[in-house]
């Protein structure tokens, strides 16, 4: 087993050499072998591993050292799994073991309570699939036969895009994910040492490589700042400071369905082997899934608006964490990120897609659709539907509650000084941040309750601010943003009301002011009630 020091800059798609200081919040790291520093709350799961073999899905209880069968299909090689949204089923990636070569792999959804197969979906464009890793609303699948990482929607399992950057002979077999990068393990097929290549998750640019990480290596786990990979066939998972990996007797490829593998537990701190357990795998052990990775995302909450009814300038009172920041988990910002880079060429620091106009005419709450909304809505609405319609369970009605949608750009070297938001939108709407382009030099922090005996007038706490990791924040608490490098930051900011807006008006392109009645479609603002 090879152990590698994970050089932190390589886990980001942005250069940090020019940063005066960097974020102290670790990046999330998600792989089948374990989820480290995950920012999104997850439902608790039993301490059991999922073993994926050439014919079986097996649960292994790490306390009783016993196994139980979830699914058996003699013609399937199971190589990847992820939890469905509700946590009642699991989706596995299966590659047919017989038949014509280069058959597409399958997604198979299995009920956790009964083991019944709920659906089978062809994994379009995935050949000889070796792993499937869920990150937020996307599933990243290793298509070894075509040398690509294919990305699928987690609900429909439809193909969204492909990263076809490798060759079949590279034999890519493992992927791990951070907010901005993919770490892809190249097996080497015994012609060369294995290596890890690091690629931007939202594009195709290389962010670095880790050469010579063993021979014929599989799996990527994170432990105490290091990456671990198994220097042989089989899977690896790290749980509670213990590495679990499989051992199989030497065999020819055609006999891989007939062997039974042994599971080994190794204490990482001491290097001591704890035990070996022969298991009825009925085939080669391919992957081991960690309990934290298989956990379902917990439904996000919201910050009570009453928590925002504090006087401007008042010291933050002791309040529960859920009244300061609530994580919604990761969401795919790839399309929005690309559109921002292509269309936003001006020097202004913000781009209103639509702002809310409180008490317009002193009686109603209006919102205005700027022409930019029409340019961005195709990329924005799927993202907003995912966050507010599905995760918060608001359905399509959330669109009538959107008060403000704004793209905010922080220029190179710029800071946002300490401030508290005020006014109608700050006290009557929920404030959400969806980071789109976030360099490591950015630090977003807010004032926290000072501990007893702690020196200084104010104590600050950094808010996790990672690309694609959406969250709600209490913007009535004093906060600030510092930038210590020559980079830009782009964030999508959304204000969501508890109820619908009174009216929506649509501004014609080229208007200089939203108060100019001639700018509105239909002649006047009052005569137009537009829809999204």
Q: What angle do CA 145, 148, 151 make, to 5 degrees?
A: 120
- Tell whether 179 is covered by a domain: yes
Q: Cα–Cα distance between 196 and 170 in angstroms, integer?
A: 11
For residues 394 and 508, membership in a common domain is answered with yes
Residues 6 or more apart whose CB falls under 8 angstroms from that of 469 comprise 28, 39, 40, 179, 327, 329, 330, 435
CATH number of the domain to which 115 belongs: 2.120.10.30
Q: Cα–Cα distance between 412 and 310 in angstroms, integer?
A: 33
Q: Report the pLDDT value the prediction gives residue 361, as an integer from 0 to 100.
A: 41
Q: Cα–Cα distance between 110 and 81 in angstroms, integer?
A: 10
For residues 190 and 329, membership in a common domain is answered with no
CB contact at 8 A, 27 and 466: yes
Question: What letter does residue 169 receive in the DSSP assignment?
Answer: G
The boundaries of the domain holding residue 276 are 2-13+28-294
For residues 331 and 286, membership in a common domain is answered with no
CB contact at 8 A, 184 and 197: yes
Residues 6 or more apart whose CB falls under 8 angstroms from that of 253 comprise none
CATH number of the domain to which 499 belongs: 2.60.120.330
For the chain, how big is the Rg over CA atoms in Å?
Answer: 25
Q: Cα–Cα distance between 330 and 238 in angstroms, integer?
A: 23
Q: Cα–Cα distance between 374 and 384 in angstroms, integer?
A: 15
Q: Cα–Cα distance between 234 and 216 in angstroms, integer?
A: 10
For residues 258 and 209, membership in a common domain is answered with yes
For residues 428 and 504, membership in a common domain is answered with yes
- Tell whether 19 is covered by a domain: no
For residues 461 and 488, membership in a common domain is answered with yes
In three-state secondary structure terms, 240 is: coil
The neighbour count for residue 10, using CB atoms within 10 Å, is 17
Structure confidence by residue, pLDDT tens digits, 146-193: 999 999 999 999 999 999 999 999 999 999 999 988 999 999 876 678
For residues 218 and 239, membership in a common domain is answered with yes
What torsion, rounded to 10 degrees, do the Cα atoms 42, 46, 49, 50 define? Answer: -80
For residues 420 and 365, membership in a common domain is answered with yes
For 121, the token pair is 């979906």
- Tell whether 532 is covered by a domain: no
Burial of residue 341 (number of CB atoms within 10 Å: 0-12, 13-18, 19+): middle
> Quick one: the chain helix, strand, coil %, rounded to 5?
15, 45, 45
For 476, the token pair is 């009535």
From 240, 263, 294, give the residue that closes a domain.
Answer: 294
Q: Tell me whether strands 181-186 and 195-200 are parallel, antiparallel or unpaired.
A: antiparallel
Residues 6 or more apart whose CB falls under 8 angstroms from that of 91 comprise 81, 82, 83, 84, 107, 108, 109, 110, 132, 139, 157
CA nearest neighbour of 258 among 248, 268, 266: 248
Q: Report the pLDDT value the prediction gives residue 146, as an integer from 0 to 100.
A: 94
- Tell whether 316 is covered by a domain: yes
Q: Identify each DSSP E strand in 112-180 by its residue range.
A: 117-127, 129-135, 138-143, 148-153, 159-163, 172-177
Q: Cα–Cα distance between 66 and 278 in angstroms, integer?
A: 10
Residues of the chain with pLDDT under 70: 1-15, 44-46, 98-102, 190-191, 233, 250-257, 310-319, 341-364, 451-456, 508-531
CB contact at 8 A, 9 and 16: yes
From 236, 259, 294, give the residue that closes a domain.
Answer: 294
For residues 377 and 253, membership in a common domain is answered with no
Q: Cα–Cα distance between 498 and 501 in angstroms, integer?
A: 9
H or E segment and range at residue 79 = strand 76-83
Q: Cα–Cα distance between 202 and 467 in angstroms, integer?
A: 10
For residues 357 and 428, membership in a common domain is answered with yes
- Tell whether 21 is covered by a domain: no
Quote the crossing angle between the two packed helices 371-384 and 334-343, to the nearest 10°: 160
For residues 77 and 163, membership in a common domain is answered with yes
Q: Cα–Cα distance between 327 and 77 in angstroms, integer?
A: 36
CA dihedral sign of residues 102, 103, 104, 109: negative
Strand partners, 96: 76
Q: Report the pLDDT value the prediction gives residue 509, as an integer from 0 to 100.
A: 67
From 273, 294, 315, give the residue that closes a domain.
Answer: 294
- Tell whether 18 is covered by a domain: no
Structure confidence by residue, pLDDT tens digits, 439-496: 888 899 998 877 666 666 788 889 999 999 999 999 999 999 988 888 788 899 999 9
For residues 321 and 450, membership in a common domain is answered with yes
Q: Report the pLDDT value the prediction gives residue 347, as an integer from 0 to 100.
A: 45
- Tell whether 68 is covered by a domain: yes
Strand partners, 239: 242
The 3 state secondary structure assigned to 321-352 is HHHCEEEEEECCCHHHHHHHHHHCCCCCCEEE
Q: How many domains does the chain have?
A: 2
For 205, the token pair is 């640019």
- Tell whether 317 is covered by a domain: yes
| Phi and psi based region of residue 484 (left: phi greater than 0; alpha: psi -120 to 50; beta: remaining) | alpha
């Amino acid at each position: 087993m090879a152990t590698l020091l994970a050089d932190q800059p390589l886990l980001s798609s942005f250069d940090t050499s020019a940063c005066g200081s960097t974020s102290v919040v670790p990046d999330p790291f998600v792989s089948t072998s374990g989820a480290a520093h995950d920012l999104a709350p997850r439902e608790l799961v039993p301490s059991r591993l999922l073993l994926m073999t050439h014919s079986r899905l097996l649960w292994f209880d790490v306390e009783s050292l016993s196994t139980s069968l979830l699914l058996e299909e003699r013609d399937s090689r199971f190589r990847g799994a992820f939890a469905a949204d509700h946590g009642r089923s699991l989706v596995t990636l299966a590659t047919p073991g017989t038949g014509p070569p280069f058959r597409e792999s399958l997604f198979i959804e299995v009920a956790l309570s009964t083991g019944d197969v709920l659906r089978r979906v062809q994994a379009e464009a995935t050949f000889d699939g070796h792993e499937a890793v869920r990150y937020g609303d996307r599933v990243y699948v290793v298509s070894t036969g075509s040398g690509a990482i294919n990305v699928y929607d987690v609900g429909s399992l439809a193909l969204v895009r492909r990263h076809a950057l490798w060759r079949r002979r590279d034999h890519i077999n493992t992927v791990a994910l951070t907010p901005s990068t993919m770490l892809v393990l190249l097996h080497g097929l015994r012609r060369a040492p294995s290596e890890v290549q690091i690629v931007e998750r939202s594009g195709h640019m290389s962010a670095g490589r880790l050469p010579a990480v063993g021979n014929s290596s599989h799996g990527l786990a994170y432990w105490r700042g290091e990456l671990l990979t198994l220097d042989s066939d089989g899977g690896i998972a790290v749980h509670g400071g213990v590495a679990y990996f499989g051992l199989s007797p030497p065999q020819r490829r055609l006999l891989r369905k007939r062997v039974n593998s042994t599971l080994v537990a190794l204490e990482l701190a001491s290097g001591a082997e704890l035990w070996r357990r022969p298991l009825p795998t009925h085939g080669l052990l391919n992957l081991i899934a960690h309990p934290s990775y298989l956990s379902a995302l917990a439904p996000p909450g919201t910050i009570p608006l009453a928590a925002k009814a504090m006087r401007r300038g008042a010291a933050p009172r002791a309040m529960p964490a859920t009244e300061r920041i609530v994580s919604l988990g990761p969401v795919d910002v790839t399309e929005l990120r690309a559109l921002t880079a292509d269309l936003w060429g001006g020097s202004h620091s913000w781009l209103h897609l639509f702002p809310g106009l409180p008490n317009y005419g002193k009686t109603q709450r209006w919102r205005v659709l700027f022409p930019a909304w029409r340019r961005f809505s195709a990329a924005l609405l799927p993202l907003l539907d995912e966050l507010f319609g599905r995760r918060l369970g608001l359905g399509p009605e959330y669109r009538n509650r959107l008060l403000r949608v704004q793209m905010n750009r922080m220029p190179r070297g710029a800071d946002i000084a300490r401030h508290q938001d005020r006014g109608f939108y700050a006290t009557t709407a929920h404030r959400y941040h969806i980071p789109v382009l976030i360099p490591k030099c950015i630090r977003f922090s807010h004032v926290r309750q000072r501990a007893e005996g702690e020196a200084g007038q104010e104590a600050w706490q950094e808010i996790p601010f990672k690309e694609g990791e959406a969250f709600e924040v209490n913007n009535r608490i004093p906060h600030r943003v510092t930038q210590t490098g020559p980079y830009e930051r782009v964030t999508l900011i959304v204000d969501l009301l508890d109820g619908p807006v009174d009216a929506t008006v649509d501004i014609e392109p080229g208007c200089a002011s939203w108060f100019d009645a001639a700018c509105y479609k239909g002649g006047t603002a009052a005569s137009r009630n537009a829809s999204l």
